[in-house]
Structure 1
Amino acid sequence: MKKTEKLIEVKNLKKYFHVSKGKLLKAVDDITIDIYKGETLGLVGESGCGKSTAGRTIIQLYKATSGQVIYDGEDIQKKSSTEIKNMKKKMQMIFQDPYSSLNPRMTVLEIISEGIDNHEFHYNKKEKEDKVYELLELVGLNKRHATRYPHEFSGGQRQRIGIARALAVEPEFIIADEPIAALDVSIQAQIVNLLQELQEKKGLTFLFIAHDLSMVKYISDRIAVMYLGIIVELSDSEDLYDEPFHPYTKALLSAIPVPDPKIERIRERIILEGDVPNPMDPPSGCRFRTRCPSAMDICTESVPKWQEVSSNHFVACHLYNV
């Protein structure tokens, strides 16, 4: 069933970093996107394209250079620090590296309790412990794990602890920033399945950031493709895989192995030329033109407009000028 009620509206969001000699690194450069209640929006692209920075700016870990993030109808940037803190209870993040995102000097009980304490949930000691035990059970661990330290767990277990920590303040919206990238392939599916189960049980909304398109397909309702600080394509998950429009999306999808060896042998791989350009000095016009097999003169001269090419399928590419 298609979700239609907006939870997050991101409008013309930019995040620039000042680097050496007065130059600007345009990590996120004018993105506009909606995230609907109860959906999982996948955000994909190569390493360094700005997707993690976009997630951290949406959730206010980074202060936006300009643009708006509207949460449930309210503009976060116009809120006081106290109001933003209260809103942050509703927005949490699961980080990529379960090894570095957990404090090694804290027990699991202390790690999961930290958010509860910071956001002033009025639990007594027994209620807080019971809450932590309940969360551990929810993510596939148990109360015996509460007194242990992060180094005593595997990568997959640590990520489960990170998920429990995010759930401790009862959020509505979770940004999962490459939550399976540091895990063994055998564990990745377990974590993705866990996130889907939690979404169904708690009605959560996810922004799922990843570079692995094959895994994103199974968890996402819609997928946005990001390249060099901008979004180049957005579509329902199935449509994106069945009929990608942007040459960059086509190249990403062509790199995914197909389980059928006969198809795998004959299908065409699209190998992109060169490296991703420097985000401090992006190409004129279309940012992908320096690597695009379909580049035309107009791609150098003007920025392609964002347009709906088919139902709920948007792309920024001169090949589809209408």
Structure 2
Amino acid sequence: MSVVEREKLLEVKNLKKHFKVGRNAVLKAVDNVSFDIYKGETLGLVGESGCGKSTTGRTIIRLYDATDGTVKYDGTDVHGKKSTSELKTFNRKMQMIFQDPYASLNPRMTIKDIIAEGIDIHGLAKSSKEREERVYELLETVGLNKSHASRYPHEFSGGQRQRIGIARALAVDPDFIIADEPISALDVSIQAQVVNLMMKLQKERGLTYLFIAHDLSMVKHISDRVGVMYLGNMVELAGSDELYEEPLHPYTQALLSAIPVPDPEIERNRERIAIKGELPSPIDPPSGCRFRTRCQFATDVCASTAPKWQEAREGHWVACHIYDKEVNMGNKQ
């Protein structure tokens, strides 16, 4: 089913999250980002460290207040003024899985109490027995057993702790989960297990994911569509297969050219696109296009004018002057 026929669950429009640094400086972590997420899909969000992808996720779920822009979840403004009961309802619908599965779990709480915390807050169990049975069921759902319920986080491996984090997120029956680099702290051998578990849960429960990561090959495996961020901006967004096979933005092309290929013959003959220079500071980003200082195709217009976020092909969005018809027509005249 094409995204056109599907129902929007999340609408992010012109989202900004700026942080004050010192007296006068402002760090523009997320700056004018727009995208939609459709019910039942996984949107992957990738980019270099410091590009703003995690801040985007945390602002969507209201761990950070937005500086500007709107986030609508199922048609309701997430950052609008809400009553306590409205916020409670919203928090149940949207959950988060964090990058560090140890830091995100209270070391003084048993696994049973960690998983049941959301159940208690939202009053989802009528008795202690029902609460306990619910925790046991969630542990089994994520591949653990009920004997683990009485243990503490330090008694588990990284992969097991992340499974506990997933069980905690599932405890309140959410519709939407933001996974903030959920596999980056895990061994490579465990990463695929966690991703496959998430895909299985999505099919069984009809979940919608925002999957934030820097591992491009794993993002392709799990995502229906992929968005690419650079220095606080979204630079490209397309279906997973299309983005990986025909990337439009020079930054995306360079990122994908760096992914290793298992076949030694193909790997030896591949053309690598090097990104020159250092990543600029989000406190003082370049004028115009933020990627221009590292782009081999940069021209004068890239320095003076920020590229539009536009649909270059059906369902394929990009922010680059190469695909800006107005700019290119002006150059021809």
Bin for the TM-score computed over the shorter chain: over 0.9
User: Which segments of structure 1 move beyond 3 Å, counting only runs of 4 or more?
Assistant: none
Equivalent residue for 2:330?
none
Q: Given residue 57 of structure 2, which amino acid in structure 1 is its aligned partner?
A: G
Deviation at 1:82, TM superposition (A): 2.8
Q: Given residue 30 of structure 1, which amino acid in structure 2 is its aligned partner?
A: N
CA distance in 2, matches of 1:241, 1:86: 37
* Number of residue-to-residue matches in the alignment: 322
Q: Answer yes or no: is 1:266 the counterpart of 2:266.
A: no
CA distance in 1, matches of 2:126, 2:278: 52
1:168-209 per-position Cα deviation (integer Å, ceiling 9, x unaligned): 011000000000000000000000000000000000000000
Q: Given residue 60 of structure 1, which amino acid in structure 2 is its aligned partner?
A: R
Deviates more, 1:309-318 or 1:188-197: 309-318
Q: Given residue 31 of structure 2, which amino acid in structure 1 is its aligned partner?
A: D
Deviation at 1:30, TM superposition (A): 0.9
Equivalent residue for 1:69?
71
CA distance in 1, matches of 2:170, 2:279: 36
Equivalent residue for 2:21?
19
CA distance in 2, matches of 1:315, 1:2: 19
**SS of aligned partner of 2:293:** coil
Equivalent residue for 2:52?
50
Deviation at 1:84, TM superposition (A): 1.6
The TM-score with structure 2 as length reference comes to 0.95
Q: Is the 8 A contact 2:62 2:79 kept in 1?
A: no
Instruction: Please provide the CA RMSD for this pair.
Output: 0.9
Equivalent residue for 1:125?
128
CA distance in 1, matches of 2:31, 2:88: 26
Q: Is the 8 A contact 2:105 2:114 kept in 1?
A: yes
Q: Is the 8 A contact 2:60 2:78 kept in 1?
A: no
Deviates more, 1:143-152 or 1:77-86: 77-86
Equivalent residue for 2:92?
89
Equivalent residue for 2:260?
257
Equivalent residue for 1:239?
242
Residue number among 137, 143, 146 corresponding to 1:140 in the alignment: 143
Equivalent residue for 1:151?
154
CA distance in 2, matches of 1:85, 1:63: 17
Equivalent residue for 1:185?
188
Equivalent residue for 1:217?
220
**SS of aligned partner of 1:70:** strand
Q: Answer yes or no: is 1:2 the counterpart of 2:2.
A: yes
Q: Given residue 13 of structure 1, which amino acid in structure 2 is its aligned partner?
A: L
Deviates more, 1:77-86 or 1:211-220: 77-86
Q: Answer yes or no: is 1:100 the counterpart of 2:103.
A: yes
Q: Given residue 54 of structure 2, which amino acid in structure 1 is its aligned partner?
A: S
Deviates more, 1:20-29 or 1:191-200: 20-29
Deviation at 1:320, TM superposition (A): 1.2
Deviation at 1:122, TM superposition (A): 4.1
1:44-69 per-position Cα deviation (integer Å, ceiling 9, x unaligned): 00001000000000011111111111
**SS of aligned partner of 2:28:** strand
Deviates more, 1:167-176 or 1:293-302: 293-302
**SS of aligned partner of 2:177:** strand
1:203-256 per-position Cα deviation (integer Å, ceiling 9, x unaligned): 000000001111000100000000011100000000000100000001110110
CA distance in 1, matches of 2:16, 2:304: 23
Equivalent residue for 1:302?
305
CA distance in 2, matches of 1:209, 1:203: 19
1:63-120 per-position Cα deviation (integer Å, ceiling 9, x unaligned): 1111111111111222224312211100000000112111111110011011111223
Q: Please list every run of 5 or more consecutive structure 2 residues that lacks an aligned counterpart in the other structure.
A: 326-333
Q: Percent identity?
A: 70
